[in-house]
Structure 1
Amino acid sequence: MTDGGRSAINPPTPPYQVRHGTAHIDDLDAFLDALGEISTETGAVVQAFDADLVVSETHLREATRLAARAIARGEAVARDPSVEVLLYAAGRRQIDRALRLGVTEGEGRVVVLLADFGGVSGAERQSADLEAAAAGVDEHTSFAPVDPASTLSFDRDRVRELFDIGDRELDAVDGDIADIVRERVALLDVEK
């Protein structure tokens, strides 16, 4: 039985891992180049985020799912799936504004997303070895894994600033900052 082409239009969330840790990044370009090499070697989509700006693992799962859907539909803004995930996670179509969600030089809490877009129509990626990608991040970057509980809190003020969440919006919604961020991720498709 077929799904009538539905899987190409609404593909399932690609297999993924979210890694929690800290990193001391002396040279941002070198750190990002190392992630790019890991991606090339393993086929994984690799994206690093400032943990203070990620409201939950659901935030990243939804960004990954929606990026895969945009790619499968031929509606992606970015050529690279890792950048498309970043755009969705930031709830922005402008790459320069979405980059504010990424890592910066210095010591900080980091969340690294590893995803296998090999099965996503239009992604033009090989199947990924997520375990090898995780090992590569641990071995070839300054990333040091930690218990997820230590990176699952976010900086409310920075998140409110990044996502332009004002007091009036918070007062008007049934939910909290994390709910508003997840809504922004979901609404990015509507804004196209």
Structure 2
Amino acid sequence: MRVIQGRTTVADVDEFLAFLDSVADEHDCVVQAFDARYVVDEAHLRTAVDRAARAWRRDDAIARDPGVEMLLYAAGRRQISRALELGVSEGEAVPVVAVVVGAFPGDPFETDDREAAAADALAAEWTDDAVLGTATDEARICEFFGITDAERTATAASLSELVRERVSLLVVEK
């Protein structure tokens, strides 16, 4: 798994998604992009990719597309319409983070040349900004994941740990 982050102009979401699909097809990888304001850190994405790959290996996937499965887990939601809020929106200098996975669902953390080439193709289209942590919007994340001030006060867990808990609990949410 490789994580690529930066900023880009998204004039049309469908065209942006078509670009991601073309990179994925050309390099035989799974590519999924997220609005960086909803992503706490790389551990959030790693947990989502791990749980999505596990669901596919167990033939227990929610979605028919590996990228959508990763999006569902990253969002901690079974409904695609709700999970799409984590997707990229139209705008200028949009903070984007994407995961590229070559060995899905096998070992999604095994890296190879296909992943590197796909990651390079994405990075060539985006500015080289580190948006994870800088574009992350804690209030937006807490609202989206239903993390209350009381919960944060009552635990020593970090926001990342609380979000990863929501990601992991997706399989028990019915």
- The answer to whether the superposition gives a TM-score over 0.5 is yes
Unaligned runs of 5+ in 1: 1-15, 122-126
Task: Tell me whether 1:151 sits opposite 2:149 in the alignment.
Answer: no
Q: Contact 2:53/2:105 (CA < 8 Å) preserved in 1?
A: no
Q: Deviations over 1:23-69 (max 9, x none)?
A: 11111110011101111111111011111111010000111111000
The equivalences for 1:52-67 within 5 A come to 52-67=37-52
Greater RCO structure (CA 8 Å; 6+ sep): 2
Q: Contact 1:23/1:144 (CA < 8 Å) preserved in 2?
A: yes
TM-superposed deviation, 1:20: 1.3
Q: With structure 1 as the length reference, what TM-score do the two structures score?
A: 0.81
Unaligned runs of 5+ in 2: none
Aligned with residue 97 of structure 1, among 66, 76, 82: 82
Task: Tell me whether 1:186 sits opposite 2:171 in the alignment.
Answer: no
Q: Contact 2:30/2:104 (CA < 8 Å) preserved in 1?
A: no
Q: Which moved more, 1:23-32 or 1:172-181?
A: 172-181
Q: What secondary structure is seen at the aligned counterpart in 1 of 2:64?
A: coil
| Cross-structure match for 1:71 | 56
Q: What secondary structure is seen at the aligned counterpart in 2 of 1:46?
A: strand
Aligned residues: CA RMSD:
2.0
Q: With structure 2 as the length reference, what TM-score do the two structures score?
A: 0.88
Larger radius of gyration: 1
| Cross-structure match for 1:124 | none
Q: Deviations over 1:99-154 (max 9, x none)?
A: 11111000221111101135629xxxxx9811221232234xx42233x3x43231
Q: Assess, with a 3 A threshold, how the Cα gap between structure 1 residues 104 and 187 changes in structure 2: closer, same or farther.
A: same
Tell me the percent identity.
45
